[in-house]
Chains A and B, each alone.
Chain A
Amino acid sequence: MPVEFRHVTKRYAGDLDAPAAVEDLSLTVPAGQTCVLVGPSGCGKTTTLKMVNRLVEPTSGQILIDGVDVARHDPVKLRRGIGYVIQQIGLFPHLTIGGNVAVVPELLGWHAARCRERADELLALVGLDPATYRARYPHELSGGERQRVGVARALAADPPVMLMDEPFGAVDPVVRERLQNEFLRLQADLAKTVLFVTHDIDEAIKLGDRVAVMDVGGRLAQYATPSELLTSPTSEFVARFVGADRGLKRLSLRRVGELPLAMPPVARVGDEAGPARARTLADPFPYLLLLDGLGRPVGWLDRDRIPTEGLLEERLAVPMSPLLEPETTLRDALSMLLAAEVQAGLVVDPRGAMVGMVTADQIGATLRAEGGRTAEGRRPAAAGGTR
């Protein structure tokens, strides 16, 4: 369902002289796409979001979901059809994790058994084992796990529209990166219409099909795809907000999974050392990657240090390149490689199994090739969505 803002203005004080929190905002989020609202603190992002589910009423203008003015809906019913996630997460401390996720289905009057089933399904969807987590209470979870529960809860009744207000704001960068990747995987499947608030431009570029840059006073400065934003900011403000490192940021438009991934010589723990050594010596890449029984990387062996006979043991391997996910942006990948002072990162799937290898040279080459070109069509949604 598309969400459309038509000349929406909000003044909290009510009188016309008061500064507007949101000023004459018009934009359309196409169905199934993610629109990221980004801008400095106090520019009206949260206000914009809350007007969609009528926690805040606009002073003037209309908001339409699927062509229908939200003002025509009963607010309580309207909200049950819109997923809502906030930075403070707002999990109910007195309910178990399962109970938290099942809140909206319960409000909708689903049967208890179906609520429980749905809660389990969603916990699994956001990567939390239901058997482990469903009976726990929020205070027994880490910040990242709570964020996941917050997202699961918002998805519970399968709402077509999701409002997310800095949902990953309260977690450390590593967890945040993982949650962002998870968001992208989920969104690729679920195709919700998402309004996502952040004040992190990198997050906006990574997650948004379209990005709305807002300026203080609640004015929309530019509404464009991430690559348009990077290549042709329409104002000084946007250019400054996007940052001087626009060239480097363009790496945020590309994902590790889009690169042709190389494969180093690999062997499993417990394999015969001899043949593995022979294979590695014959390979241009001078290291052997050791995997565990589930295909997860364990560490590297210098080709000269591979024993000539016996079995390969875990203790021979030295850890470890940074682990990347297919959704990791090239920019994040590069910074992880630089931070770890290594040449290669390992790409793993959500279960942690080895998918391939990315090198700093590869990323550098992409950066040079990107030079003039824009990275359009990186996702089906972005390619098809003009409005």
Chain B
Amino acid sequence: MEFVASVIAWLADPAHWQGRDGIPIRLLEHVELSAASLLAGAAIALPFGFLVGHSGRGAFLVLSVANVGRALPSLAILGLALPFTIQLFHVLEFWPAFVALTVLAIPPILTNTWAGIRAVERDLVETSRGMGMSATQVLWRVEIPVALPVILGGLRTAAVQVVATATLGAYVAGGGFGRYVIDGIARNQLDRIFAGALLVAALSIATELAFAFLQRRLVSRGLRAATERTVPRTAT
């Protein structure tokens, strides 16, 4: 009980809400790092997934990337990224963690995008072509919108993983909530470690919720309800 109270006290302490090491700045750093990595991962994995899914060729590539990605521990990637980023940017902080998290984000986005597009019924694709859609139109007007729930699912998994793992960035002098955990260990401050972990967990849940909201907004109602036949509504 005493411990819980001390964590709450730590979080409530106004001193921890301001300055270079304050929660708002650490939140900003954490979100910045996670968002940048997710976007970079998406920028690589989405087009690749679209291409492989649409053409039906190169599936083994997707599967190998996914398997290798799952097998590599994030910490190892971080270690591997370290020498390169030091050479490239001459600083630690952001870049090694960014590279490691981008690599982490790619497999779930890639596999879901590929699988989602593969799962679009071939009849639907064939009618689309039969109606006079070009290959790009089939992709953008049919395959991607129909696969969207699955694609967003991949982004969601990646985002949550990235947010949780971004904690590691603190190992290589990066910012974010990981700082509290790493510094707490160094200074042997249990309340700081625990508060840091709590903040990471809260941010993961917030990410999850944000994606659930996005999914609701972006996915067509026709797809969301596709499994449960709804009662026909009267005209509006």
Contacts and interface: CB of A to CB of B under 8 A. Distances in A.
B146 A90 contact: no
Given A94-B145, A107-B137, A132-B235, A55 B220 contact: no
B127 interface: yes
B130 A55 contact: yes
A96 B222 contact: yes
A80 to B, nearest CB: 3
Contacts of A163: 130
Interface in A57-90: 76-81, 84, 86, 88, 90
B221 interface: yes
A112 to B, nearest CB: 15
A131 interface: yes
A340 to B, nearest CB: 29
Contacts, number: 87
A192 to B, nearest CB: 16
A104 B222 contact: no
B13 to A, nearest CB: 50
A178 interface: no
Nearest to A140: B232
B232 A76 contact: no
B131 A94 contact: no
A59 B235 CA distance: 50
Interface in B213-236: 219-223, 225-226, 229-230, 232-236
Contacts of B134: 76
B70 interface: no
Interface in B105-133: 121, 123-124, 126-133
A90 B225 contact: no
- Measured as residues with beta carbon below 8 angstroms from the partner, the interface class of chain B is 20 to 34
Contact of A107 (B131, B225, B236): B131
Interface in A113-156: 129, 131-132, 135-140, 153
A68 to B, nearest CB: 17
B142 interface: yes
Contacts of B126: 55, 86, 90
A86 B130 CA distance: 10
Interface in A9-40: none
- Measured as residues with beta carbon below 8 angstroms from the partner, the interface class of chain A is 20 to 34
Given A137-B225, A139-B226, A140-B229, A93 B131 contact: no
A137 B228 CA distance: 12
Given A53-B130, A79-B132, A107-B132, A90 B124 contact: yes
A316 interface: no
A76 B133 contact: yes
A110 interface: no
A237 interface: no
18 contacts: A50-B130, A55-B126, A76-B134, A80-B131, A81-B132, A84-B130, A86-B130, A88-B127, A90-B121, A90-B123, A92-B222, A93-B124, A93-B226, A94-B148, A96-B222, A104-B131, A135-B236, A136-B232
Interface of B: 121, 123-124, 126-134, 137, 141-142, 145-146, 148, 219-223, 225-226, 229-230, 232-236
Interface of A: 50, 53, 55, 76-81, 84, 86, 88, 90, 92-96, 103-104, 107, 129, 131-132, 135-140, 153, 163
Given A55-B129, A88-B127, A93-B223, 6 more contacts: A86-B130, A88-B123, A90-B121, A103-B141, A107-B137, A135-B236
